[in-house]
């Protein structure tokens, strides 16, 4: 049965009127997102322009894919992509494994007061900005910083954690885990608390000790959430952590530490090459979009997770 256009129009008007309070509530947020998220998407057209800031938005010269060709042919660009993937993927793996193991070990603690105190301490770094943390790490990890002083007492030669291009990416992964692992245990600890106690009793009666109870009862029960967190972090593959790396890197380690975001910053904001910088940004946005969409799709299919 097809409805007449007039009737459909009227029902739409009625619907709009009955839903008016909802539309009004959404209006301010809608406008903010429209202005600050959607208009910049239109601004991605800069990627196809020879953008000159002195001219207005509509008076730019179109150059097709020239900016992309220019950036992709830069000798440093493949290196930047590789660095980004390497650091980001290492962070994703370590960012799942460490919190899960930590949560499992914390769960074995019987002293609740002690457990809570440890949690309070390991959550703490999450609240410190990367700027302040960078200041801390630049000092602590410097050649005469406390880490090298302590290593010296153990008879180990000083390591240039932030200036040696071979060490730098690993320093990024470790300091990132240092900041985030405590906070990331929250979700897993909640999941472990939700494990049905009768499962442990059944396993105990079957002769399983604490270790085997953990492997065969706790781990499988929290596995769906571990999977979900992994899937949802796939979208970060091209985001290796600008705040951290920008504040800790130096020209000494560009060869292994320069990532897409820092590259875009230097190219666009410092070098004022708006066109090429936007081209890289667009490339990054599209790849991330595809990965995140795939991740959401997989999360919905395998874990029944819906974003909204």
Partner 1 sequence: MKQTQGQKIFGVFNYIFLTALALLCLMPMINIVALSFSSRNMVNAGFVTFWPREFTLSSYEYMLEKSGLFPAGIVTIKRVIFGLLINLAMTVLVAYPLSKDDLQFKSRKFYVGFFLFSMIFNGGLIPTYTVIKEMKMLDTIWALILPNAVTMYYVLLMLNFFRGIPKSIEEAAVVDGANWMQILVKIYMPLSLPSLATITLFIIVGHWNEWFDGMIYNNRAQNYPLMTFLQYHVINFKTSDLRPEQIAANPALADLDGRAIKSAGIVLCTLPILCLYPFLQRYFVTGIVMGSVKG
Contact map string, positions 185 to 224, toward partner 1, x by CB under 8 A: -xx--xx------------x----xxx-------------
Binding of residue 108 to partner 1 (CB under 8 A) = yes
Helix, strand, or coil (residue 62): strand
Q: Which of 13, 120, 202, 250 binds partner 1 (CB under 8 A)?
A: 120
> What is d(CA 86, CA 259) in angstroms, rounded to the nearest whole number?
10
Size of the site for partner 1 (CB under 8 A): 93
Whole-angstrom Cα distance, residue 203 to residue 220? 13
Residues of span 77-96 touching partner 1 by CB under 8 A: none
**Binding to partner 1, residues 132-151 (CB under 8 A):** 132, 134-140, 144, 146, 149
Among 39, 52, 69, 93, binds partner 1 (CB under 8 A): 39
Q: Is 170 in the site for partner 1 (CB under 8 A)?
A: no
Residue 41 is a binding residue for partner 1 (CB under 8 A): yes
Nearest approach, Cβ of residue 189 and partner 1 (Å): 8
Report the distance separating Cα 224 and Cα 305, nearest Å.
Answer: 11
Residue 215 vs residues 53, 184, 205, 212: alpha-carbon distances, Å: 60, 20, 16, 5
Q: Which of 3, 10, 23, 166 binds partner 1 (CB under 8 A)?
A: 23
Among 128, 156, 202, 215, binds partner 1 (CB under 8 A): 128
Stretch that binds partner 1, among 63-71, 75-83, 84-92, 258-266 (CB under 8 A): 258-266
Residue 145 CB, nearest distance to partner 1 (Å)?
8
Q: At what angle do helices 20-33 and 5-18 cross, to 10 degrees?
A: 80
241 contacts 91 by C-beta, under 8 angstroms? yes
Tokens of 77: 């660009």
Helical axes 77-107 vs 219-233, angle rounded to 10°: 160
Report the distance separating Cα 287 and Cα 293, nearest Å.
Answer: 10
């Amino acid at each position: 049965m097809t409805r007449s256009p007039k009737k459909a129009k009227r029902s739409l008007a009625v619907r709009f009127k009955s839903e008016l309070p909802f539309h009004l509530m959404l209006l301010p947020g809608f406008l903010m997102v429209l202005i600050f998220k959607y208009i910049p998407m239109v601004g991605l057209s800069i990627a196809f322009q020879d953008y000159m800031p002195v001219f207005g938005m509509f008076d730019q010269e179109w150059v097709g894919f020239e900016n992309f060709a220019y950036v992709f042919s830069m000798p440093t660009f493949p290196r930047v992509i590789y660095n980004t993937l390497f650091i980001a993927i290492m962070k994703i793996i370590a960012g799942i494994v460490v919190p899960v193991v930590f949560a499992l070990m914390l769960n074995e603690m019987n002293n609740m007061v002690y457990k809570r105190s440890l949690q309070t301490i390991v959550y703490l770094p999450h609240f410190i900005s990367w700027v302040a943390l960078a200041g801390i790490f630049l000092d602590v990890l410097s050649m005469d910083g406390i880490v090298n002083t302590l290593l010296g007492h153990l008879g180990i030669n000083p390591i240039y954690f932030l200036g040696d291009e071979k060490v730098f990416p690993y320093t990024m992964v470790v300091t990132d885990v240092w900041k985030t692992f405590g906070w990331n245990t929250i979700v897993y600890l909640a999941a472990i608390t939700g494990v049905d106690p009768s499962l442990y009793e059944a396993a105990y009666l079957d002769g399983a000790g604490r270790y085997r109870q953990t492997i065969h009862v706790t781990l499988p029960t929290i596995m769906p959430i571990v999977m979900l967190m992994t899937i949802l972090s796939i979208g970060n593959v091209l985001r290796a952590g600008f705040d951290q790396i920008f504040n800790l890197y130096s020209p000494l380690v560009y060869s292994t530490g320069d990532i897409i975001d820092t590259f875009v910053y230097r190219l666009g904001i410092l070098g004022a090459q708006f066109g090429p910088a936007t081209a890289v940004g667009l490339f990054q946005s599209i790849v991330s979009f595809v990965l995140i969409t795939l991740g959401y799709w997989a999360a919905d299919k395998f874990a029944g997770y819906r974003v909204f």
